[in-house]
Structure 1
Amino acid sequence: MKKRVKNYLINLMKKSRKQSGFTLIEMVIVIAIIVMLLIIIAPNLVNQRNHAQKKTDEAFVTTLQTQVELYQDNHPGKKVTSLDVLKDGDYLTKDQESKLGKYEIDKDGKVRQKQ
C-alpha cells in the first residue's frame, strides 16, 4: 500500500512539473490562419476605401455645381467659365478651395472631375 501511494505521489509530481502551453506547431498554425484571414479581408478594405473616395468626390461635384448656380443667380449675365470665380466670395471654404484643382467646368456649365 505504501508503495502504491508513493508511486501515485511520484506520478502526481511528474504531472505537475510539466508546463502546459502552446507548442511551436500550434503557434505556427494560429499565425497561418490569421495571415489567411488578412489576405481575404485586405482587398475588401481597399475596395471599400476606393468606393468611399468615389462617393466623396461625387458629393463634392454636387456641392460645386450648387455653388456655381448660386454664383450665377447672384451675378446675372455672367457665365462661369472657371471655378476660380468661386474663390472671390463666400461660396467655398478654404479647404474646398484647395481641392478645386481636381475639377473643371465644361461648356454646358456642369462641374466634373478632370480626367
Structure 2
Amino acid sequence: MNEKGFTLIEMLIVLMVISILLLIVIPNITKHNGMINNKGCEAFVNTVQAQVKAYEMEHKQIPTIQQLIDGKYIKSDHCPNGHKIQINSNGEVSESGA
C-alpha cells in the first residue's frame, strides 16, 4: 500500500509546536492590551480637554462631565481602561482612577 498522509506522531508534533507558540504569544498580547488601553485613556483625556475648551468658548463657563455628555460633546465619562475622568475647577481633565 502506498497511501500518502500524516502519521499520528507527525500530527502530535505539529499540535505541540502550535501549543508552544500559543503559550508564547498569548501573554504578550495581554500585556500589550493594558498598555494600549492606557494610551487610549491618554488620548481620550486629550479629546475631552478639547471639548471642555469648546464648551467654555460657547457657554462662557467650565462644564461638568454631565454637561458635556448632555450637550453631546462626549459620549462617555469612562476611558477605554474603565477609569472615570474628571474636570477640576480650572477646567483641566484628568483620569480619576478605577
Q: TM-score, normalised by structure 1?
A: 0.67
Query: The residue matched to 1:53 in structure 2 has which SS?
Result: helix
Q: Tell me, which stretches of 5 or more residues in structure 2 are unaligned? A: 79-83
Shift of 1:54: 1.8
Match of 2:36 in 1: 52
Task: Give runs of aligned pairs for residues 56-67 of structure 1, distance below 5 A.
Answer: 56-67=40-51
Counterpart residue identity of residue 100, structure 1: D
Q: CA RMSD in A?
A: 2.0
Paired-residue identity, %: 37
CA distance in 1, matches of 2:96, 2:42: 12
Task: Give runs of aligned pairs for residues 9-88 of structure 1, distance below 5 A.
Answer: 17-76=1-60, 78-80=61-63, 82-88=64-70
Match of 1:6 in 2: none
Aligned length: 92
Any conservation in 1 of the 2:52–2:62 contact (CA below 8 Å)? no
Any conservation in 1 of the 2:62–2:89 contact (CA below 8 Å)? no
Match of 2:77 in 1: 100
Q: Tell me, which stretches of 5 or more residues in structure 1 are unaligned? A: 1-16
More helix by share: 1
CA distance in 1, matches of 2:4, 2:48: 65
CA distance in 2, matches of 1:21, 1:90: 62
Q: Larger radius of gyration, structure 1 or 2?
A: 1
Shift of 1:67: 0.7
Query: The residue matched to 2:37 in structure 1 has which SS?
Result: helix
Aligned counterpart for 2:71 among listed residues 83, 89, 110: 89
User: Greater RCO between the two (CA within 8 Å, min separation 6)?
Assistant: 2
Q: TM-score, normalised by structure 2?
A: 0.76
Shift of 1:26: 1.5
Any conservation in 1 of the 2:55–2:62 contact (CA below 8 Å)? no
